[in-house]
Amino acid sequence: MTITQQILQQLINGISLGSVYALMALGYTMVYGIIKLINFAHGEVFMIGAFIGFFSITKLGMDFFPAMFTAMIFCAILGILMERLAYKPLRNAHRVAALMTAVGLSMLFQNLALAHSWIGASAKGFPQVFPLQRFQLMENVNISSDRILTLAIAIFLMIALQFIVHKTIMGKAMRAVSLDKDAARLMGINVDKTISFTFALGSSLAAAAGVLFALNYGIVVYQMGLLPGLKAFVAAVLGGIGIIPGAMVGGLLLGVTESAVSAAGGSMFRDAVAFAALIIMLLVKPTGLFGKNVREKV
Amino acid sequence: MAKRFSALLQFALVLALGYAIQMAMDAGMINRYYAHVMTVMAIFVVGAVSLNLINGICGQFSLGHAGFMAVGAYTAAIITKNPDLILPAIFTGNVRFILATLLGGMTAAFVGFLVGLPSLRLRGDYLAIVTLGFGEIIRILLLNWDFVGGASGYFGLVRHTNFFAAFLLSIITITIIRNFIQSSHGRACVSIREDEIAAETMGVPTTRYKVIAFVIASFFAGTAGSMMAHLTQMVTPASFTFILSIELLLMVVLGGLGSITGSIGAAIFLTYAAEALRAFRAYRMILYSLLLILIMLFRPKGLLGTQELSYGLLKESFKSLRTRWQRKKNDDITAAAE
């Protein structure tokens, strides 16, 4: 295996892993953009999405795509409920109060999953829904059918999101609210509805990411949201939090870096890479790759 | 002078009380299980009060306090277990333990400096994510470090911690942090919590004060970790997980963000509750997270808020209750007269 082949192989692995991070990072970035809150429970929405997909396939006998769609719908509703019940009452409270609520929600979901008799502590095998095929692109450079599928779905969802944000009325409202909540309200935009819609969108993307992650790694477990959730947040910061294209680029960048590090023999430090990247980014350019310096007005 | 003398007297009295409890334990008047629980309470008081300095007084949000405890615990454990590593072999027994605890705290403080500086420079919630990530990284590194036993942990420590040691540490922590809060540095930290932009405009070097508070809190977390390690006689990566950070956070929130007495009370109460609810272990974290959410929704400043529980506060609230009752009585009388 030559160096070029190895680089290409890791690039392929990294892009497919990165597309999952990117899908999740979109949820973080949209929510942060609109209400300036790090939604710590986002990783758990990812986990719940994966489990809904898993149970839809194993218990209800659904095909892969309907199962993923079910997970997305379920998590969209979950996202709306979460926002309405837990975050909305705290919209004008101190920042730390909302953050702690988010951490509390994340712990709550994780431990409810742990205590649930269907889920429990042990990891479960995600069924191989599509027969695994490997396509040889070059000598020693392979891509599996699951990876292609992941990438295709991720790209499709990102294009759909771009369409929603830029071409629909609701998307316009989202952009307006994230720019200036009060001015948007004066223009007759229903701010509460827009925020709920943003949560629904972000959560459904996280659910899709969860199902795709489970498909690729073949397992579902109650803690699966923790590390991908943190990494997706890092991806969002890398691209510039609040900026949608930034989250996509940040996710891909993080995925590729991670694959490169584990290929270079540092698989033990794979999980530490994301945080090293975060700290370096915060030191060098805290606003992220695509971020602009915004003056804070008082 | 008289004030300083009375403070010293108070300090001496409190220490005498702690020593008396220790004597009672040694004499077997308090059974060993309760002695253990009380020692754990004292250690958690250190953890909660130091976390309150970051989350309550400074208004920042750290999620990695357990990580700093782990740093302190492992550093101290390495020193006490290897008689000629780091510290010369002339220090033995309890002297070595005390020095190891201090060094553990200092290592944690140094790591806190490294972690805090990049993330505290910025406004916003980066500290939460960075500290959360830091806790995870520490756990992963310890899992892979064979010198300290990897996943199975570091065993065979001598049991240096007794109730009095933990009690003494908690008293020192409370005294230093209380004095810090009441100093001009502490006031600067409170001003950052209340309005960071306004504080900066008034010339408060916000980053510096946030880092100072963070480093102090990390130091005490490290010493608490060392105490814990030498109480349970082993350290494993599983002893200092994210769940421990959440428990400490809940103590701070329950007692009130910014209230030292609140943190002390909540640390004692929650440690007791964790023991009492041992049978419902599986549901404990569900209960804790629900509690955290509900407190935040209904009392975003915590149960006590920033108030300190003191004789004065009790007197005050009693007085206000009495005036209210008096007024109501007067109203009733006038209503009856009409």
Cβ-Cβ contacts under 8 Å, A110 against chain B:
285
Q: How far apart are CA A295 and CA A287, in angstroms?
A: 12
Task: Give the residue from A103, A284, A294, A297 with the most B CB atoms within 10 Å of its CB, the best one to mutate.
Answer: A103
> Higher-confidence residue: B123 or A133?
A133
Distance from CA of A128 to the nearest CA of B (A): 30
Same domain (yes/no): B160, B34: yes
Residue A268: φ, ψ to 5°:
-65, -30
User: What is the span of the domain harbouring residue B330?
Assistant: 313-338
Cβ-Cβ contacts under 8 Å, B141 against chain A:
272
Three-state SS string over A71-133 comes to HHHHHHHHHHHHHHHHHHHHCCCCHHHHHHHHHHHHHHHHHHHHHCCCCCCCCEECCCCCCCC
Distance from CA of A34 to the nearest CA of B (A): 15
pLDDT over threshold 60, residue A297 = no
Same domain (yes/no): B138, B235: yes
Distance from CA of A220 to the nearest CA of B (A): 20
Q: Please tell me the predicted confidence (pLDDT) of residue A296.
A: 58
Q: Answer whether A52's CB lies under 8 Å from A75's CB.
A: yes
Q: Is residue B2 part of a domain?
A: no
Q: Answer whether B137's CB lies under 8 Å from B117's CB.
A: no
User: Which range, of A64-78, B96-110, B271-285, averages the lowest pLDDT?
Assistant: B271-285
Q: Is residue B1 part of a domain?
A: no
Q: Please tell me the predicted confidence (pLDDT) of residue A118.
A: 86
Q: Is residue B40 part of a domain?
A: yes
Q: Please tell me the predicted confidence (pLDDT) of residue A49.
A: 96
Quick: pLDDT tens for B177-222: 999 999 999 999 999 988 888 999 999 999 999 999 999 999 999 9
Distance from CA of B190 to the nearest CA of A (A): 14
pLDDT over threshold 60, residue A298 = no
Task: Give the residue from B114, B125, B137 with the most A CB atoms within 10 Å of its CB, the best one to mutate.
Answer: B125
Place of tokens 């209400």: A35
Question: Which residue among B125, B140, B288 places its CB closest to the CB of A271?
Answer: B140
Q: Locate A223 and state its tokens.
A: 């803690």
Same domain (yes/no): B330, B189: no
Same domain (yes/no): B71, B178: yes
Q: Please tell me the predicted confidence (pLDDT) of residue B28.
A: 84
> Higher-confidence residue: B281 or B9?
B9
Cβ-Cβ contacts under 8 Å, A89 against chain B:
297
Question: Which residue among A38, A101, A298 places its CB closest to the CB of B296?
Answer: A101
A31 confidence band (pLDDT: 50, 70, 90): very high
Same domain (yes/no): B219, B278: yes
A252, containing H or E segment: helix A244-261
Q: Please tell me the predicted confidence (pLDDT) of residue B157.
A: 86
B291, amino acid identity: L
**DSSP states of A212-243:** HHHHHH-EE-TTTTHHHHHHHHHHHHHH-TT-
- Name the burial class of residue B235, with classes exposed (0-12), middle (13-18) and buried (19+) by CB atoms within 10 angstroms of its CB: buried
Q: How far apart are CA A298 and CA A293, in angstroms?
A: 16
What is the percentage of chain A residues whose pLDDT exceeds 70? 97
B89 confidence band (pLDDT: 50, 70, 90): confident
Same domain (yes/no): B298, B323: no
Q: Answer whether B106's CB lies under 8 Å from B68's CB.
A: no
Instruction: Give the A-side interface with B, CB within 8 Å.
Output: 36, 38, 40, 86, 89-90, 93-101, 103-108, 110-112, 114-115, 226-227, 230, 233-234, 237, 268-269, 271-272, 274-275, 278-279, 282-283, 286, 296, 298
B264, amino acid identity: I
Same domain (yes/no): B242, B318: no
Residue B68: φ, ψ to 5°:
-70, -35
Sign of the torsion angle spanned by Cα atoms B268, B153, A124, A268: positive
Task: Give the residue from B126, B247, B281 with the most A CB atoms within 10 Å of its CB, the best one to mutate.
Answer: B126
Q: Answer whether B246's CB lies under 8 Å from B55's CB.
A: no
Place of tokens 């700290």: A279
The domain locations on chain A are 3-120+143-284
Q: Is residue B23 part of a domain?
A: yes
Question: Which residue among A38, A271, A275 places its CB closest to the CB of B125?
Answer: A38
Inter-residue long-range contacts of B139-146, CB under 8 Å, 24+ positions, other chains counted: B139/B67, B139/B70, B139/B237, B139/B240, B139/B241, B140/A268, B140/A269, B140/A271, B140/A272, B141/A272, B142/B70, B142/B74, B142/B237, B143/B237, B144/A268
Sign of the torsion angle spanned by Cα atoms A152, A154, A159, A164: positive
Same domain (yes/no): B145, B234: yes
Quick: pLDDT tens for A183-204: 999 999 999 999 999 999 999 9
Distance from CA of A271 to the nearest CA of B (A): 7
A75 confidence band (pLDDT: 50, 70, 90): very high
B326 confidence band (pLDDT: 50, 70, 90): confident
Q: Is residue B247 part of a domain?
A: yes
> Higher-confidence residue: B336 or A171?
A171
If you average pLDDT over residues B315-334, what whole number do you get? 78
Cβ-Cβ contacts under 8 Å, B128 against chain A:
38, 40, 99, 103
A294 confidence band (pLDDT: 50, 70, 90): low
If you average pLDDT over residues B72-99, what whole number do you get? 86
ipTM score of complex: 0.86
Same domain (yes/no): B29, B140: yes
pTM attached to this predicted model: 0.86
Q: Please tell me the predicted confidence (pLDDT) of residue A116.
A: 87
Q: Is B89 helix (H, G, I), strand (E, B) or coil?
A: coil
> Higher-confidence residue: A154 or B305?
A154
Interface of B with A in 113-152 (CB under 8 A): 115, 118-119, 121-126, 128-130, 132-134, 136-137, 140-141, 144
Q: Determine the angle formed by the axes of helices A145-167 and A169-179, rounding to 10 degrees.
A: 80
- Please give the residue of chain A at the shortest CA–CA distance from B131: A275
pLDDT over threshold 80, residue B328 = no
A24 confidence band (pLDDT: 50, 70, 90): very high
Cβ–Cβ below 8 Å for B253 and A100: yes
Q: Please tell me the predicted confidence (pLDDT) of residue A270.
A: 77
What's chain A's average pLDDT? 89
Quick: pLDDT tens for B268-301: 999 998 888 887 877 888 888 898 899 888 888 7
Q: B167 Cβ partners below 8 Å, 6+ apart? A: B18, B21, B22, B42
> Higher-confidence residue: B309 or B92?
B92
Same domain (yes/no): B182, B158: yes
Cβ-Cβ contacts under 8 Å, B257 against chain A:
96
Q: Please tell me the predicted confidence (pLDDT) of residue A244.
A: 87
Q: Answer whether B217's CB lies under 8 Å from B112's CB.
A: yes
- Please give the residue of chain B at the shortest CA–CA distance from A110: B286
Q: Is A286 helix (H, G, I), strand (E, B) or coil?
A: coil
Same domain (yes/no): B80, B98: yes
Same domain (yes/no): B58, B95: yes
Distance from CA of B329 to the nearest CA of A (A): 37
Q: Please tell me the predicted confidence (pLDDT) of residue A295.
A: 61
CATH number (1.10.287, 3.40.640, 1.10.3470, 3.40.50) of A3-120+143-284 reads 1.10.3470
Please tell me the total count of domains within chain B.
2
